[in-house]
Amino acid sequence: MSYIVMVCMVYAGSKHGKRVQANLGAKNHATVMMNDADRNSTVKALVGAAFGAAGQRCMALSVVILVGDVAEARVWVEEMACEARKLKVGNGFVDGVDVGPLISKDAKSRAEAIIQQSIDQGATCVLDGRGVVVEGYELGNFIGPTIINLNEHSHVQSNEIITNPAYTEEIFGPVLTVLTVPTLDDAIQLTNRNPYGNGCAIFTSSGAAARKYQFEIEAGQIGINVPIPVPLPFFSFTGNKGSIRGDVNFYGKSGVNFFTQLKTVTSNWQYGKGGDLGGTVMPVLGKK
Q: Is 58 a catalytic residue?
A: yes
CA distance 115 to 120: 9
Inter-residue contact 181 to 193 (CB < 8 Å): no
Helix (H) or strand (E) holding 39: helix 39-51
Strand, coil or helix: 248 = coil
Q: Which of 173, 72, 76 is nearest to 129 (CA)?
A: 173
Strand, coil or helix: 129 = coil
Catalytic residue among 8, 58, 82, 200: 58
Beta pairing, strands 196-197 & 240-241? antiparallel
Inter-residue contact 191 to 200 (CB < 8 Å): yes
Beta pairing, strands 175-181 & 61-67? parallel
**What torsion do the CA atoms of 132, 60, 186, 165 make, to the nearest 10 degrees?**
50
- In Å, the largest CA–CA distance within the chain is 88
Strand, coil or helix: 238 = coil
Inter-residue contact 220 to 214 (CB < 8 Å): no
Inter-residue contact 150 to 36 (CB < 8 Å): no
* Residues with a known catalytic role: 58
